[in-house]
A and B are shown apart, each in its own frame.
Chain A
Amino acid sequence: MEFAEHIKTANVEDVVLRQPLQPPSRGTLCITGHHLLFSDREESDSRQVLLLLRNIDATEKSVENLTGYSGFFSNASHSERMSGSSGTITMKCKDLRVLQLDIPGMEQCLNIAHSIETLSCLDCVSEMYPFFYRPVELSLPEQWGLSSPEMHYSQMKELYEKWRLSTVNRDYSVCSSYPPAVIVPKSIDDDTLKKAAKFRQGGRFPVLCYYHKKNGMVIMRSSQPLLGANRKRCKEDELLLQAVIEGSDKGYIIDTRSRQQAQQARMTGGGFESKSFYSRWKRFHRPMERGKALQESLIKLVEACGDESNNMDRWLSKLENSKWLSHVQNALSTAGLLVECVERDGHSVLVHGSEGTDCSLLISTLAQLIMDPCCRTVEGFLGLLEREWIQARHPFQQRCAHSAYSHARLQQESPVFLLLMDCVWQLWRQFPLALGFSEALLLRLATEVYASDYGTFLCNSDQERCALGVKERTHCLFQALLRPTQRDYYSNPLYERTELAIWPSVHPQSLQLWKGYFLRWTQQVRHLEEAQEEIRNMVIEWGKLACS
């Protein structure tokens, strides 16, 4: 497909760009298939703004037929062209930035707006920018991703005795959303797995996602069992779970739905593990918000942050009403429950909700960060995200199609990954020395997930990525973040590894609005960044002295 057919006007002169924290500037606007490029002509050191069109969540345009329009600059030489008509395009980005373009000439303005609207939400994955991004210093194909299930398994010698790597899903036929290799109890053969998979929504049968070295307990992940109204049972699924707790008196199931929701799911073919057939499993219900409700929570929060009424009561009530912080609290406390089961109580846990691709990933990821020091380095954290979110499949394409500003009708959007980043930030804030990465890494990831040069967050599953050749034809974000200069920038200068679990406080007073993200385009956040920079310098200085 040709992008050109969407671009009627590629260049406009005399455009005024207004962006947060900077004075307006006048220059040339250029639209390409994937970018909006603005170059400032007035400054001697010409500034450029390069914006990925994919980043634009919503546009608003207004055109006016103004005679005597004077604009921001009262430069007489422009007045002729300005005297006709002009238009303004407001672009609200997925990274929460709001930009405004003042464009001379109504027609040009409408053309530009049309191009932005069309090109910012192309549906076809293979037309997206990561397939065109070719930085000169890199060549394709590169190693895509940090690890694979096979490598992960081979490095975990502790697993060998009781667990095996199954390739039952090598052609994605058992479960289209699982990677080709998964870790399962050694005593369970592939045929049993195939049958168990039929009893789980989307074929997501229970697989191992974390092994706790301290006591050999594990976290398993799956989707809901397909009991249905007739309370069907599946011997193979029961066997599989039985094998997980072989040698232990019991296991726990954390269902991320309320008991009532789980009951109701039976009407549509789903359900939960019943006591009679899974007698050694004890079930907790911890309802977590998901889907549309979570997306609406984000929209309300962003709206509250943009409220300019300067009224404290209004702010606090909007903040409360958005419920975002309640979701943060809930996610951290459910993850805390999971850690408590594994670390303190010494039992294995199975986590699922309905599909097992959202909240289950969220809390298993958080639990691993809390328990396992290996997940708290930059490499470890990215590896964890790769295992839990990329390989075990979070449908990024669907969940992150739009963010808080979009007027489009909500479909499958849901900011689960953003909620994860917020929760990790809360951990980072409460344990500023225990995590090896900086807030900047969380911000970068939270941005990239919505619009990126890299292929990492494209598609909804491993299968889709393979079909489109994502791994051969795009660059990998995680690899990029680990290149030396980047890695330094994203590491926490205060980091010191601790073997202990880092139990977060979930008391409301201990949880805060993530200003670095939600208010990132305000002056105040600059001061906080300056302080972070100061910390980095102090530690570097100290390191130098200590070495000399």
Chain B
Amino acid sequence: MEHIRTPKVENVRLLDRSSGQRKASVGTLYLSATHTIFVENNPETRKETWVLHSMVSSVERPPTTPSGGQLILRCKDFRIFQIFIPQERDGLDVHASLARLSRPEKYSELYCLSFNPNVNKEEREESWNFIDLMADYKRMGVPNNLWVATAANGEYRVCDTYPSELFVPKSATPTIIVGSSRFRSRGRFPALSYFHQDTLAAVCRCSQPLSGFSGRCQEDEMMLQALMKSNPGSDYIYVVDTRPKLNAMANRAAGKGYENEDHYTNIKLQFIGIENIHVMRSSQQKIIDVGEMRSPSMTDFLWGLENSGWLKHIKAILDAGVFVARAVADEGVSVLVHCSDGWDRTAQACSVASILLDPYYRTIRGLMVLIERDWVSFGHKFSHRYAHLDRDPKEVSPVIDQFLECVWQLSEQFPCAFEFNERFLIAIHTHVYSCQYGTFLGNSQKERRDMRLHERTHSVWPQLWKDRGEYTNPLYKAELSQSQGVLRPNTSPYCFKMWKGLYNHAEKSTPPRQSPADFLSAVREESQQLEEELTNHQEVPPGGTAHHHHPGSRQEDRSPDGEADHLGEDRGSPEED
């Protein structure tokens, strides 16, 4: 609380720019330890707007104008709030308070450590067991006579950014594991990500080898050999380096690099060319700017889109996933994926491949499992990448944003293949940044254990599961051919479009647009009810259940000052002779 200079300011005007609001509403602004809260004066609505401090990515204070000072709050979920504060003094105080509150320095300041939903201790502990990774490995048939659990990383001895429980080829002895880990960046040795039961091929992951120009390591070579042998159907493996080849070569000068095909027998090296986190950070900034353009022409918009490079990057990640999935499903060849440290691009490529390979990961629970495995347990650096604490801004990058967007692009291409809808992806996106739950806190399993997060915070997954009704795609149909087996997406450029739902809130909430999905959800719900009624009361008299009205809320009232504004601006000045 010591950072709050002024807890309450009256007669403040707030404009939610991202919701397409055009007129600021007047009300009172409150600062709490966790939220900025704005309550409208209008006695009829008393609408409240809550903004979590951890969702604020920047607070700007443009020069004061005669009408008073203003603050611009940009949020990590791409919402933008404009706050007009009459007294300059108050403005300064709010600005200073928010600037500090939105940049926590210690984990202890984060919301999840004070967030206390109404659940008891047992429920909280239970919440952490909601996702069971071992059960998922079992579901994919592991362990078996090819893949076994290894205790080598117990107590995080070998690799402190890996989970303690891992699966490796049966022939990989602890000596090989330890030896290989010494030859890999951050000790991240090759381990199993996904096992494909149909072909017995596997997706494995690791970090780059410390090969430099000529270094080699016998154990590492044996490790890759073991990977190859763990797939009886193939006599080679693919090593997918997800970096552009040039970057990988440059790494050799720093004693790192990629596998030398002369030293490793039976590998095929493949570069994919996903750019690094710095390129992605600036690319996302550009696409955010595109989303914020007020009334761009079609040309401005398409140029902006091209210039941001964003869709190109999304395509590269999807292409990487497609390559891995094809190798595993079509060729029956195992794949080892790495980038530099093996926690960003590698996580992207592996998890996209899993989504393509296994329908389970296209369900609500399956996506949770997948994120828990390839991202949370394998040490994706959530706290660094999503700026949970005020640290090095060069560590920040929208890595998981891109994964979620790949899933969204796929769901646009296969509308019946995913159990969840866009809202689910956006909810996950929000919680990756919000720090409301402990799930995404820290940078590795070890850090979370050391912080005793399971005792001090709640897991986000049970909450999302509880709300699954809202996240269900009514068109999901597992029996449909497009939903079954391996997804084979088209990755031609024309298949990608800007994710409006994420980057352009203004569009999303202008007077309720009709959503066929909401309508269909209502249809589906009502059909189920009717079906139940029918089975329960077979002898309902005719007309007994005939409430044949259209279900769901189907508003389409477009406010007069809604979207046709571009017209309004031009009006009133007709041409004169």
Tell me if A275 and B577 are in contact (CB < 8 A). Answer: yes
Secondary structure of the A contact surface, majority rule: helix
Tell me if B415 and A433 are in contact (CB < 8 A). Answer: no
Determine whether A432 belongs to the interface, using a CB cutoff of 8 Å to chain B. yes
Residues of B within 8 A of A534 (CB): 415-416, 475, 477, 480
Interface string of A98-111 (1 = CB under 8 A from B): 00000000000000
Determine whether B545 belongs to the interface, using a CB cutoff of 8 Å to chain A. yes
Determine whether B264 belongs to the interface, using a CB cutoff of 8 Å to chain A. no
Residues of B within 8 A of A313 (CB): 306, 309, 312
Residues of A within 8 A of B311 (CB): 312, 316
Tell me if A547 and B416 are in contact (CB < 8 A). Answer: no
Tell me if A508 and B567 are in contact (CB < 8 A). Answer: no
Tell which of B98-106, B158-166, B461-469, B510-518 binds the partner. B510-518
Name the CB-closest residue of A to B476: A534
Q: Which of B296, B415, B513 contacts A430 (CB 8 A)?
A: B513
The smallest C-beta distance from A443 to any residue of chain B, in angstroms, reads 18
Q: How far apart sit A179 and B568, CA to CA, in the bound complex (Å)?
A: 36
Determine whether A276 belongs to the interface, using a CB cutoff of 8 Å to chain B. yes
The smallest C-beta distance from A17 to any residue of chain B, in angstroms, reads 23
Q: How far apart sit A547 and B547, CA to CA, in the bound complex (Å)?
A: 8
The smallest C-beta distance from B282 to any residue of chain A, in angstroms, reads 16
Tell which of A67-75, A147-155, A333-341, A417-425 binds the partner. A333-341
Residues of B within 8 A of A527 (CB): 413-416, 482
Q: Which of B315, B566, B574 contacts A506 (CB 8 A)?
A: B566
Q: Which residues of A from 247 to 268 have beta carbons under 8 Å from B? A: 252, 259
The smallest C-beta distance from B297 to any residue of chain A, in angstroms, reads 7
Tell which of A280-288, A386-394, A470-478 binds the partner. A280-288
Tell me if A305 and B494 are in contact (CB < 8 A). Answer: yes
Q: Which of B414, B497, B530, B570 contacts A337 (CB 8 A)?
A: B570
Interface string of B291-307 (1 = CB under 8 A from A): 10001111111110110
Q: Which of B490, B493, B523 contacts A539 (CB 8 A)?
A: B523
Q: How far apart sit A526 and B450, CA to CA, in the bound complex (Å)?
A: 51
Tell me if B494 and A315 are in contact (CB < 8 A). Answer: yes
Tell me if B495 and A524 are in contact (CB < 8 A). Answer: yes
Q: How far apart sit A433 and B556, CA to CA, in the bound complex (Å)?
A: 9
Q: How far apart sit A431 and B558, CA to CA, in the bound complex (Å)?
A: 11
Q: How far apart sit A392 and B62, CA to CA, in the bound complex (Å)?
A: 56
Q: How far apart sit A311 and B492, CA to CA, in the bound complex (Å)?
A: 8
* Interface residues of A, count at CB 8 A: 73
Q: How far apart sit A313 and B311, CA to CA, in the bound complex (Å)?
A: 9
Tell me if B527 and A542 are in contact (CB < 8 A). Answer: yes
Name the CB-closest residue of B to A258: B575
Interface string of A55-86 (1 = CB under 8 A from B): 00000000000000000000000000000000
Tell me if B475 and A433 are in contact (CB < 8 A). Answer: no
* Interface residues of B, count at CB 8 A: 74
Q: Which of B302, B523, B531 contacts A316 (CB 8 A)?
A: B302
Q: Which residues of B from 451 to 510 have beta carbons under 8 Å from A? A: 474-475, 477, 480-482, 490-498, 500, 504, 507, 510
Name the CB-closest residue of B to A314: B493
Determine whether B198 belongs to the interface, using a CB cutoff of 8 Å to chain A. no
Tell me if B493 and A312 are in contact (CB < 8 A). Answer: yes
Tell me if B567 and A337 are in contact (CB < 8 A). Answer: yes
Tell which of A33-41, A213-221, A452-460, A511-519 binds the partner. A511-519
Name the CB-closest residue of B to A338: B567
Determine whether A44 belongs to the interface, using a CB cutoff of 8 Å to chain B. no
Name the CB-closest residue of A to B489: A524
Q: How far apart sit A542 and B298, CA to CA, in the bound complex (Å)?
A: 40
Tell me if B297 and A333 are in contact (CB < 8 A). Answer: no
Name the CB-closest residue of B to A519: B494
Tell me if A508 and B301 are in contact (CB < 8 A). Answer: yes
Tell me if B494 and A510 are in contact (CB < 8 A). Answer: no
Tell me if B514 and A431 are in contact (CB < 8 A). Answer: yes
Residues of B within 8 A of A317 (CB): 302, 306
Q: How far apart sit A337 and B567, CA to CA, in the bound complex (Å)?
A: 6
Tell me if B577 and A274 are in contact (CB < 8 A). Answer: yes
Residues of A within 8 A of B480 (CB): 530, 534
Q: Which residues of B from 544 to 567 have beta carbons under 8 Å from A? A: 545-548, 550, 554, 556-558, 560, 562-564, 566-567
List 5 additional A-B contacts (Cβ < 8 Å) besides A316-B306, A320-B302. A276-B577, A325-B302, A433-B556, A530-B482, A545-B531
Residues of A bordering B, CB below 8 Å: 252, 259, 274-276, 282-285, 305, 310-317, 319-320, 323, 325-326, 329, 333, 336-337, 339-340, 344-345, 430-434, 494, 496, 498, 500-513, 515, 519, 522-524, 527-528, 530-531, 534-535, 538-539, 541-543, 545-548
Residues of B bordering A, CB below 8 Å: 291, 295-303, 305-306, 309, 311-312, 315, 413-416, 474-475, 477, 480-482, 490-498, 500, 504, 507, 510, 513-516, 519-520, 523-524, 526-527, 530-531, 534, 545-548, 550, 554, 556-558, 560, 562-564, 566-568, 570-571, 574-577
